[in-house]
């Protein structure tokens, strides 16, 4: 299944793109985090949240949505 990852905020600069498509089968959010940290070691140091179907779920949730959003906290005001 093709899944589109959309990055927000500083993550766009860290991974060098705002979107990418991954071909995955039956993986969990936790497994996606491991893939992200292997692909982009600089992400290991950052706080981030992962949402699918516009909902932030648990790490053990299986990815069923074709659209995944990955965002950090912002601090500016």
Partner 1 sequence: MKRYSRHITLSEVGLIGQLKIAESKVLVIGAGGLGAPLLLYLNAAGVGTIGIVDFDTVSLSNLQRQVLFREQDLDLNKADIAKELLSARNSELNIKSYPVALTTSNALEIIKPYDIVVDCTDNFRTRYLINDACIKLNKPFVFAAIYKFEGQLSVFNYAGGPTYRCLFPTPPKAGEVPNCEEAGVMGVLPGILGTYQANEVLKMILNLGEVLSGKLVSINLLTNQQNSFQFRRNESLVKQVIEEDLSYIELNDCNINA
16 touches partner 1 (CB under 8 A): no
Give yes or no for a contact between 23 and 2, defined as CB atoms under 8 angstroms apart. yes
Q: Which is nearer to partner 1, 25 or 71 (CB)?
A: 71
40 touches partner 1 (CB under 8 A): no
77 touches partner 1 (CB under 8 A): yes
**What's the CA gap between 76 and 31, in Å, rounded?**
31
Q: What is the torsion angle, in degrees rounded to the nearest 10, for the CA atoms of residue 54, residue 56, residue 59 and residue 65? A: -10
Encoding tokens for residue 13? 């600069």
Q: Which is nearer to partner 1, 36 or 69 (CB)?
A: 69
Among 8, 24, 37, 65, binds partner 1 (CB under 8 A): 8
């Amino acid at each position: 299944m093709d899944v589109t990852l959309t990055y927000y905020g500083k993550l766009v600069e860290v991974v060098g793109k705002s979107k990418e498509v991954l071909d995955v089968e039956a993986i969990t959010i936790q497994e996606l985090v491991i893939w992200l940290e292997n692909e982009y070691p600089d992400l290991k140091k950052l706080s981030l949240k992962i949402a699918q179907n516009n909902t932030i779920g648990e790490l053990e949730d299986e990815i069923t949505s074709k659209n995944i959003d990955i965002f950090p906290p912002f601090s500016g005001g």
